[in-house]
């Protein structure tokens, strides 16, 4: 599903280069639940952004479902964002001016899903996450855990193949974190969604079926 070959990322610093990632080779198969770990500044987020096509690698090849995507044009990349890749962020990133319902609906609007289908899909997700009662509230009326729940609901409503999550529980209590992790596990097992998460917590990492250790831009498995 995700194939990274010799992925390198650097930023120019003065006359030289500051390498963040160096010669990363990594394959993630369909249906895997991978946790990326490593010390702060080791390049975890950068790697995830590259996988999510939010950032371009400086060197190397990236194949998504067998297709070269590292030098893809804006339009095609956006299509992948609409259909195949869902994001969950540490800082929730909900749109403050939209209600829970409307936040979840937004990706479907970009996908041009018909109104009736939007309605039923959002209703399904709300139901599944037990947040039907909250659907007309605005993000600032929710707790952190609830907000992240909405964030995940929004990530899966477009039925992506992969969910990329950057410290999804970073701002949450451990109880809240646990339920989020269980949700991920369920999505992975029942819905066969490939999940890649970045986490600092060993406990959370064990929910996945593979752990990748990142150190100074290199993978230590």
Ligand X SMILES: Nc1ncnc2c1ncn2[C@@H]1O[C@H](COP(=O)(O)OP(=O)(O)OP(=O)(O)O)[C@@H](O)[C@H]1O
Applying CB under 8 A, which residues contact other proteins? Answer: 49, 52, 54-55, 74-75, 78-79, 81-83, 87, 89, 91, 93, 95-98, 102, 105-107, 109-111, 154, 158
In angstroms, rounded to a whole number, what is the distance separating the alpha carbons of residues 153 and 100?
10
Nearest residue to Mg ion by CB is 45
In angstroms, rounded to a whole number, what is the distance separating the alpha carbons of residues 198 and 63?
20
Report the residue number, 54 or 137, with the smaller CB distance to other proteins.
54
The residues, ordered by sequence, that sit 6+ positions from 100 with a Cβ below 8 Å of its Cβ are 126, 131, 134, 135, 136, 137, 138, 139, 142, 150
Report the residue number, 14 or 66, with the smaller CB distance to ligand X.
14
Nearest residue to ligand X by CB is 45
Are 114 and 93 a contacting pair, CB within 8 Å?
no
In angstroms, rounded to a whole number, what is the distance separating the alpha carbons of residues 187 and 130?
15
Residues of this chain that interact with ligand X (CB under 6 A) are 11, 20, 38, 40-46
Question: Closest approach of Cβ 203 to other proteins, in Å?
Answer: 27
Q: Which does 40 bind (CB under 5 to 8 A by kind): Mg ion, ligand X, other proteins, none?
A: ligand X
Report the residue number, 45 or 147, with the smaller CB distance to Mg ion.
45
Q: Indicate the angle between helix axes 174-190 and 144-157, nearest 10 degrees.
A: 10
Question: Closest approach of Cβ 65 to other proteins, in Å?
Answer: 17
Tell me the sheet residues that pair with 87.
Answer: 164
Question: Closest approach of Cβ 90 to ligand X, in Å?
Answer: 8
The CA radius of gyration of the chain, in Å to the nearest whole number, is 18
Question: Closest approach of Cβ 38 to Mg ion, in Å?
Answer: 9
């Amino acid at each position: 599903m995700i194939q990274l070959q010799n992925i390198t990322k650097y930023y120019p610093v003065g006359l030289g280069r500051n390498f963040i990632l160096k010669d990363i080779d990594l394959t993630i198969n369909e249906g895997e639940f991978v946790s990326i770990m490593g010390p702060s500044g080791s390049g975890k987020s950068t790697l995830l952004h590259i996988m999510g096509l939010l950032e371009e690698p400086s060197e190397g090849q990236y194949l998504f479902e067998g297709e070269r995507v590292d030098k893809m044009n804006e339009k095609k990349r956006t299509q992948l964002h609409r259909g195949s890749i869902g994001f969950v962020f540490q800082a929730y990133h909900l749109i403050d001016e939209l209600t829970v319902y409307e936040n979840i609906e937004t990706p479907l609007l970009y996908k041009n899903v018909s109104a009736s289908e939007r309605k039923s899909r959002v209703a399904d997700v709300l139901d599944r996450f037990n947040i039907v009662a909250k659907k007309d509230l605005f993000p600032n009326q929710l707790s952190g855990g609830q907000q992240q729940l909405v964030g995940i609901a929004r990530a899966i409503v477009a039925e992506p193949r992969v969910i990329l999550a950057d410290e999804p529980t970073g701002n949450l209590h451990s109880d809240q974190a646990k339920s989020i992790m269980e949700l991920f596990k369920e999505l992975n097992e029942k819905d066969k969604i490939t999940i890649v998460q970045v986490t600092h917590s060993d406990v959370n990492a064990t929910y996945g079926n593979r752990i990748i250790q990142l150190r100074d831009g290199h993978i230590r498995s």
